[in-house]
Amino acid sequence: MDLRETTFKTFGQELAPEEVVRRIIRDVREDGDNGVSYYNSRLDGSATQDLRVSDEEMREAYDACDNELVEALRFAAGRVRDYHEQQMRGARLDFNNNGLGQVTRAIKRAGIYVPGTRAPLPSTVIMCAIPARVAGVEEVYLTSPVLPDGTVPAAKLVAADIAGVDAVFKAGGAQGIAAFAYGTETIPRVDKIFGPGGLFVTIAKKQVFGDVGIDSVYGPTETMIIADESANPELVAADLLAQAEHDPLASPILLTPSHYFAGEVDREIERQLRDMERAKIARAAIDTRGGCILVSDIDHGIELANYYGPEHLCLAVENPTAYVMKVTNAGGLFLGEASPEAVGDYTAGPSHTMPTGGSARWSSPLGVSDFLKRMAIVNLPEDDSEELNQYAAIIARAEGLTGHAHAVERRLRGR
């Protein structure tokens, strides 16, 4: 059933996605658990009686997962934890100097949305929840769309347990975002919502922002590879296809100064597509959002990449470290063929939740700082107060805020 048909069946009329989300948010805000369960059923085709995943379901998830996968998730979690513990050392910038200071506090309650049922994305659980734990967030919750039988995919539950999530809830799409934003009888209201999602999730995050914090708005994945003739065309093609298989709207882009190399990569893409399980998706991404751009040299390629601001920028060139300082806009920078972006998605260490849609020009990958907030401290010494009050009063009167002026002038009179 396509989006328009589902919308009509649910609401009795055709609605724009923004209006669909607005109604879902309203109903969840007013009707709590019942609203979440209704939309789980109508939009996701899942019957959910208990919205919270039980301890028994968590235990059963381990039985349903191969030991090899559990071991891999634990390995990935260790790498992600180690990376973010290093990041944490530079994230607390507390200071106190002459009565002025700053203290850093973790947010109390984080809500993580992780999309996917057929492709359950346990890696995204680890990449979002572990930075929260390292940052010191007291309560970390996760919500997920559910399968038709009313369960959350086992791999996702195992990842949540390994990452230290406090509870998992069954609420997909906009209803999951609304539940975190306003709370229901079962799902707690959080301080900030994290994680990627599809169209309805993205719109919902925009609509609830202000009532709750959000990390960012994420779009389809992007990978830009800058390669010269020292690169292996087979590996470059594989890296482009690895991102293309995510979504028909993914953007796999190659920049190279070599016409010959571009042709070799194109031939490899065609050959490798024949063996891909998600070939149809990858083909759509390559044909509609992918491409190859011939550049004059590597510096020219980096100039274009900085303008584009890709989520992932891979330098498959001779001596890639020589170009690091020239890159200014990228979510993640992957140097050389031994550092493929696909490893970054799972086991390298940095969170794979990265800025998309050019937002790398002003934002960063998800990290511990996203779970922290700074609080200014003002504890002025008495010796400074007269001068500070005098100048504050002058500025306040210039702004027409005489109440402010009176508040400081009364302190001057009391000296």
The whole-angstrom separation of Cα 268 and Cα 277 is 16
The tokens for 3 are: 């989006």
pLDDT exceeds 60 at position 210: yes
pLDDT in tens, 94-113: 888 888 999 999 999 999 99
Q: Per-residue pLDDT averaged across 401-407, rounded? A: 95
The pLDDT value recorded for residue 337 is 92
pLDDT exceeds 60 at position 1: no
pLDDT exceeds 60 at position 57: yes
Q: Do residues 265 and 259 lie in contact, with contact meaning Cβ atoms separated by under 8 Å?
A: no
pLDDT exceeds 80 at position 308: yes
Residues 6+ apart with CB under 8 A from 34: none
The tokens for 369 are: 């700082």
pLDDT in tens, 351-400: 999 999 999 999 999 999 999 999 999 998 877 778 899 999 999 999 99
Q: How many residues in the chain? A: 415
The pLDDT value recorded for residue 10 is 81
What b/e string do you get for 370-403 counting C-beta neighbours within 10 Å, with b at 16 or more? bbbeeeeeeeeeeeebeeebeebbeebeeeeeee
The whole-angstrom separation of Cα 304 and Cα 225 is 11
Which residue among 311, 337, 341, 352 is the active-site one?
311
DSSP 324: G
pLDDT exceeds 70 at position 300: yes
pLDDT exceeds 80 at position 197: yes
Q: Which of 159, 130, 144, 142 is nearest to 64 (CA)?
A: 159
What share of the chain in percent tops pLDDT 90? 84
pLDDT in tens, 142-169: 999 999 888 999 999 999 999 999 999 9
The pLDDT value recorded for residue 414 is 67
Active site residue 311: yes
pLDDT in tens, 2-30: 677 777 778 878 888 999 999 999 999 99
Q: Per-residue pLDDT averaged across 316-343, rounded? A: 96
Alpha carbon dihedral 399, 404, 406, 409, in 10-degree steps, equals -90
Spell out the domains of the chain, with CATH numbers in brackets: 27-214 (3.40.50.1980), 222-362 (3.40.50.1980), 381-413 (no CATH)
pLDDT in tens, 174-195: 999 999 999 999 999 999 999 9
Which residue among 84, 246, 312, 352 is the active-site one?
312
Active site residue 406: no
What share of the chain in percent tops pLDDT 70? 99
- Residue 2's Cβ-count burial label (10 Å; 0-12, 13-18, 19+) is exposed
pLDDT exceeds 60 at position 67: yes
The phi, psi pair for 111, rounded to 5°, reads -115, 125
